[in-house]
Amino acid sequence: SVGKKAADMAAVLLGSVALHCRLLQVSGERSFSVDYKNDCFLKDGKPFQYISGSIHYSRIPRYYWKDRLLKMYMTGLNAIQVYVPWNFHEAVQGIYNFTGDRDLEHFLDLANQTGLLVILRPGPYICAEWEMGGLPAWLLQKPNIRLRSADTDYVQAVSNWLAVLLPKLKPWLYSNGGNIITVQVENEYGSYYACDYNYMRHLRTLFRFFLGEDTVLFTTDGNTDREMMCGTLEGLYATIDFGTDTNITDAFNRQRRFEPRGPLVNSEFYTGWLDHWGDQHAVVDAQKVSRVLGEMLTMGANVNMYMFEGGTNFGYWNGADHDSRFRSVVTSYDYDAPLSEAGDPTEKLLDIRDVIKQFRDVPSGPMPPATPKFAYGFVTLSKVNIKTGLLNILSPPGPVKSQYPLTFEEIKQYYGYMLYQTTLPWDLSEPTPLISPMNGVHDRLYSQSHGLLERDTVLVMNISGQKGDTVDILVENMGRVNFGSKINDYKGLVSNLILGKDVLTDWKIYPLDIDGAITRGWPQSNSRQSFPAFWTESTVGPAFYSGTLQPNGLAWDTFLKLNEWTKGQVWINGVNLGRYWPARGPQQTLYVPGPLLSSTQPNNITVLELEKAPAHLRILFMDRPQLSGNDVLFHIISVATQFLTTSDF
């Protein structure tokens, strides 16, 4: 069978790099195409049905790529589906990065060695609950740019990017000896308001120019007529996506209305769902997933499971939605997927493998085990006490001066945090409202003495003080909108702040390179120096805290719980783990991949707490995640720790 051939091929490839190289040189005998007459795909001239799962290399440490791919292969998948986030590779315009965790070709090579074909989704827009849907924020330097359209500035930037990316991919096409069988053009374009066929035609032309006339190009759209109407284009094979609560027959009939002949394809069959801060943790029933998967495969449909492993929104890479209000996606992209955020097989995976066994040969042998986890225990942090010189460390270029506030994009500080500084124009003996009347705080504003403002939620706070007092305002970019009509998501103070009846002016704006400072060794490099208190001795308001996790000979995966901390960001050994916000939830722990830790040297921990740190200043490394605040066991643990003192640790 086709499945047996795939398994045999994988065994040969894994055992012999030399043979792998020779196979890559074979091109004339390999082909992948659509058979419109018999309603299927053809691989090397024979009918082919793919059973695929989505995996995002940008959300998984490179060290673990092979582990995750092997688990997918051992489940019985014969393909994977992969997004390419443009902003992950061109964060700064004209500077391209395909090294380390961004080494796309190495990822494709590992998949090929493992025996997995690839369904590639290079965008340029990808959604994916990823920052700005994968579009680089520097596009917003053009203030009136119309994204995902035939807008001249946008099309030029897209053309430049694809002229770099697509030639890298061409050798990896199946017909050229690689493992890419199909390539998606754009992504769910029918759900975007523009419905610009000229833009889609331009993309089709670019993809054909760089990848050739015989490559199977496709589109994916949601299960509505409007989405399929605006998202499809002649010459691009139209596929559909839907989850477990959809009538399968109705959905595939809709695909048939737009693609009368050819294979049935569900490009995103949802095994789970995403979480926003403040949501309940999303769960999709494993039995329902297995049942619907089996029904689709019985129909001969090609299915990609989204996600198969979700991974983690490390750093600032999480996206956001904006329907009735702005809602940021949490750091964990666990997605309730068959492989957990940490890459561990779940009961859902085993159920799926049992279904796949009914349709193709599944590789023999045991499923690779979960990666080892360790509960390293408590670490007590100390406040980083700096009164002067902090801005010299975090913002070496110094401030940009402006009469009115400037956005992150205008300052070219695309992610993270900026500090806005001005002075009170008069004495405020009574609390006076500071208002963002145009909802112009994108996304959260923190003041040491006066509280916070939050986009769409908290638009007023009161200020008092003396004329000439400095007003420090820290603004956080919580991740740009990744879906819908509001992806032109500018960050920072995007409109004026009103104090009483007057507009605040004369700003100093500091772009904060916190990640750069921590990478250079701060604040641990200053640990031997003695400083007076930074802002105040209080644990209220934005402040840095640091400490070390002492080595114990192990560098295993772990999960960081910040019990009674409020909201902020964590770095370990210079790596930005992402945001924590246990006060809002649902996510209560951060995934710490073992390869980030040292088994022999102290592990440096830096926490930026934005609102209020607990008096105990403890953090806890655990051997299991907590993705929901409703877990009774973890509630008991949390309550118990409140009665422990530092001496207990």
DSSP state of 453: E
Handedness of CA 85, 89, 91, 94 (dihedral sign): negative
How far is the C-alpha of 414 from the C-alpha of 132, rounded, in Å?
Answer: 11
Tokens of 36: 């419109």
Please indicate whether residue 188 is annotated as part of the active site. yes
Only one residue has tokens 């996304």, namely 443
How far is the C-alpha of 125 from the C-alpha of 220, rounded, in Å?
Answer: 12
Prior bond of 307 cis (ω within 30°): yes
How far is the C-alpha of 288 from the C-alpha of 647, rounded, in Å?
Answer: 49
- Which of 90, 268, 476, 611 is labelled catalytic? 268
Q: Are the C-beta atoms of 204 and 217 separated by less than 8 Å?
A: yes
Phi first, then psi: what are they for 322, rounded to 5°? -145, 95
- Which of 90, 188, 259, 409 is labelled catalytic? 188
Q: Are the C-beta atoms of 634 and 589 separated by less than 8 Å?
A: no
Only one residue has tokens 């930074």, namely 534
How far is the C-alpha of 401 from the C-alpha of 324, rounded, in Å?
Answer: 34
Burial of 287 per CB tally in 10 Å (0-12, 13-18, 19+):
exposed
The one-letter amino acid code at 649 reads: F
380 CB neighbour count, 10 Å cutoff: 12
How far is the C-alpha of 315 from the C-alpha of 292, rounded, in Å?
Answer: 35
- Rounded CA Rg of the chain: 26
Please indicate whether residue 409 is annotated as part of the active site. no
Q: Which among 540, 563, 571 has a CA at the least distance from the CA of 626? A: 563
How far is the C-alpha of 489 from the C-alpha of 485, rounded, in Å?
Answer: 10
Q: Which among 38, 90, 82 has a CA at the least distance from the CA of 183? A: 82
Full strand arrangement of the beta sheet holding 502-503: 460-465, 428-435, 498-499, 502-503
Helix, strand, or coil here: 464? strand
Catalytic residues: 188, 268
